[in-house]
Amino acid sequence: MAVETVPCTAYEDQKPGTSGLRKSVRHFQQPDYLQTFVQAIFNAVPELRGGLLVLGGDGRYFNREAIQVILRMAAANGVARILVGKGGILSTPAASNLIRKYQATGGIILSASHNPGGPDGDFGIKYNSSNGGPAPENLTNLFFEHASKLSEYYITAIQPVPLDKPGHYEIEGLRVEVIDPVDDYAELMATLFDFERIRALLAGDFSLRFDAMHAVTGPYAQRILEQTLGAARGTVMHFEPLADFGGHHPDPNQAHARELMELLYNPRKVDFGAASDGDGDRNMILGHYFFVTPSDSLAIIAANAHLIPGYRNGLKGVARSMPTSQAVDRVAEKLGIACHETPTGWKFFGNLLDDGQITLCGEESFGTGSDHIREKDGLWAVLFWLNLLAVRQESVEDIVRRHWADHGRHYYSRHDYEAIATPAANTLMTHLRQQFDELPGKVIHGKTVCQADDFTYHDPVDHSASHHQGIRILFEDGARLIFRLSGTGTQGATLRLYLEQYEADVKNHDQDVQAALAPLIQIAETLALIRTFTGRDAPTVIT
């Protein structure tokens, strides 16, 4: 094999965030930018030499070109075998399953998740370890260390691998297998859920719409929902993965899945609506005129897991990210199981899952999952809800309201201030930290603060510590304000404000969410001076 050694200049901005390295497409198209980071991965994971690598992405712009570069570099770095999704398509949960099922050394997933695509959009790359989960912090730090010092990378001049038809290719000692990206994932789902019962539900007068948002889950949802479970043709909307996601933002929330929202909030009844994001790991759940918050969805899944075949033996425990509402905590307490609070980022669930301490986990950012893989899984959550609806024979709204009656309602919302100047965002956070000592015991707009801190997570498995994971302002009545700077954007900073207020009395469960949270919104402005520091009169997105 003719291996070419290419001199390169290291980049200083290749430190992965919570979900890998994300930048604009144009940033990735800089000379050797992609190659530098990929070589850093190969240098940091020597086990890939002679190993099996899973490779694919969400189909966004630059996906195909990046795959060909990675194949050439993998051959030069001694990888023995690669599984790549047909067309370069592979959802994040499907990639996690493949890594685990075929005992791969790891996987490279090309995605910027819910960020926009196209030549003026975003691109991303992340590495998943042999457990199928996102690389832990010690490994991503090693990627950055190698990338920042890199002076050369290795590549071969092999011809492009045909990606549009399943097949086997032998290239300079590298075996490349182009596989159907759906087969193994669909097989896994059939072991977890009662497909016969879901078929019976869909064969009746039950109506369903799934919005794939021209992203990766289109082929998965069409195969499972329409072909396997018998949903009507056309149930899956925007099913074709497009490089620019049809010009839309592939984020499954009320703001970006507008067409789906209009179908569900319409007198012409649609019983159940759902959507997933760019790489297939997020989900949104809707009933007729009814939105299910991701935090409530996680709690309801935990409370009803015993009704689902794959979870009938009970839950070992549950976990949620710190900003996620405490709704699942109350379910765990009632079930007598542990509930863990972790930083944002799915990689923090990995140790708990691998150690057998939890079965279910979730984040407020529309991500839910279980121990079947090591990633959040959008279509899995949709199938869970369909199975639950088939068993309980109630509407989405009825199931949620019964849950509130049993456990109380957590009024919850996230306010995002996107693309604000990074210095302004950092100054705001510093301003909050400077108030920590004086806040406990202070009464603000009728609420008494009991604790103010910057969340530190101590991993119970490997005993590592993760600092500065979000500012918490906790109140005596159980209310919470969380301030956090997101690591998933590519321009400026995104300030996320999380607001939570618990209400036990069922008589007060019909308030407008923002109205119920109005006192907390006022307190947040008083403490953080959001308008002053950001220059924004309102959030960019409210979910």
Identify the active-site residue in 113, 276, 321, 365.
113
Angle at 373 between CA 222 and CA 58, to 5 degrees: 45
Q: Is 477 helix (H, G, I), strand (E, B) or coil?
A: coil
99: CB partners within 8 A, 6+ apart: 54, 106, 107, 128, 129, 130, 131, 132
**Are both 388 and 286 inside the same structural domain?**
yes
Q: Which two tokens stand for residue 85?
A: 């999704």
Asked if the model's pLDDT at residue 362 lies above 90, the reply is: yes
Among candidates 46, 63, 42, 263, which has minimal Cα distance to 155?
42
pLDDT computed for residue 491 by the predictor: 67
Asked whether residue 20 carries a pLDDT value surpassing 80, the answer given is: yes
Q: What is the mean pLDDT of residues 93-122?
A: 96
Specify the number of domains making up the chain: 3
What digits encode the pLDDT tens for the residues 450-459? 999 999 999 9
Q: How confident is the model at residue 495 (pLDDT cuts 50, 70, 90)?
A: very high
Which stretches does DSSP call E strand in 293-404?
Answer: 317-321, 338-342, 360-363, 367-370
Residues 175 and 222 in one domain: no
Q: Is the pTM of this model over 0.75?
A: yes
- The per-residue pLDDT for range 193-240, each reduced to its tens digit, is 999 999 999 999 999 999 999 999 999 999 999 999 999 999 999 999
Asked if pLDDT for residue 353 goes beyond 90, the answer is yes
* pLDDT above 90: percentage of residues in the chain: 93
pLDDT in the model for residue 17: 85
What's the pLDDT at 228? Answer: 98
**Residue found by looking up tokens 């308030």 in the block:** 511
Same domain as 132, residue 88: yes
Task: State how far the Cα of 95 lies from the Cα of 98, in Å rounded to an integer.
Answer: 5
Per residue in 238-274, pLDDT tens? 999 999 999 999 999 888 999 999 999 999 989 999 9
- Are 397 and 287 in a shared domain? yes
Single residue among 348, 373, 407 that ends a domain in this structure = 407
Which residues constitute the domain of residue 39?
A: 3-181
The pLDDT assigned to 332 comes to 98
Q: How far is CA 196 from CA 172, 202, 217, in A?
A: 47, 10, 22
Q: What is the pLDDT of residue 173?
A: 86
Length of the chain: 543
Question: Same structural domain for residues 223 and 284?
Answer: yes
Examine the domain organization and report whether 17 and 154 are in the same domain. yes
Residue 267 neighbours by CB distance under 10 Å: 6
User: Does 96 participate in catalysis according to the annotation?
Assistant: no
Helix H or strand E encompassing 25 = helix 25-28
Last-in-domain residue among 347, 378, 407? 407
- 400 and 428 co-located in one domain: no
Q: Does residue 284 share a domain with residue 164?
A: no
State mean pLDDT over 177-205.
Answer: 98
Cβ–Cβ under 8 Å, residues 70 and 38: yes
Query: 85-89, 179-183, 491-495 — which is least confidently predicted?
Result: 491-495
Residues 365 and 506 placed together within one structural domain of the fold: no
Average pLDDT over residues 24-28: 97
140 in the same domain as 129: yes
CA 345/CA 522 separation, integer angstroms: 28
Verify that 29 and 106 share a domain, yes or no. Answer: yes
User: What is the residue type of 431?
Assistant: H
- The domain that holds 324 is classified in CATH as 3.40.120.10
Average pLDDT score, the chain? 96
pLDDT tens for 125-164 read 999 999 999 999 899 999 999 999 999 999 999 889 999 9
Q: Which of 407, 424, 457 is the last residue of a domain?
A: 407
Q: What is the pLDDT of residue 434?
A: 98
Q: What is the pLDDT of residue 171?
A: 83
For 77-214, where are the alpha helices, taking DSSP H only?
92-101, 137-147, 183-192, 195-203
Instruction: Say whether pLDDT at 478 is over 70.
Output: yes
**Which runs of E-coded beta strand occur in 347-470?**
360-363, 367-370, 409-420, 443-444, 447-454, 457-458, 465-466
Amino acid identity at 183: D
pLDDT at 189 over 90: yes
Q: What is the pLDDT of residue 10?
A: 95
Which domain CATH number covers 487? 3.30.310.50
| Shared domain check, 146 and 14 | yes
pLDDT in the model for residue 490: 54
User: What is the chain's Cα-based Rg?
Assistant: 23
pLDDT for position 358 = 98
Q: Is pLDDT at 487 greater than 70 in this prediction? A: no
pLDDT digit string (tens) for 323-338? 999 999 999 999 999 9
Cα 225 to Cα 211, 218, 220, 542: the distances in Å are 12, 10, 8, 30
Question: Within 10 A of 489 (CB to CB), how many other CB atoms are there?
Answer: 18
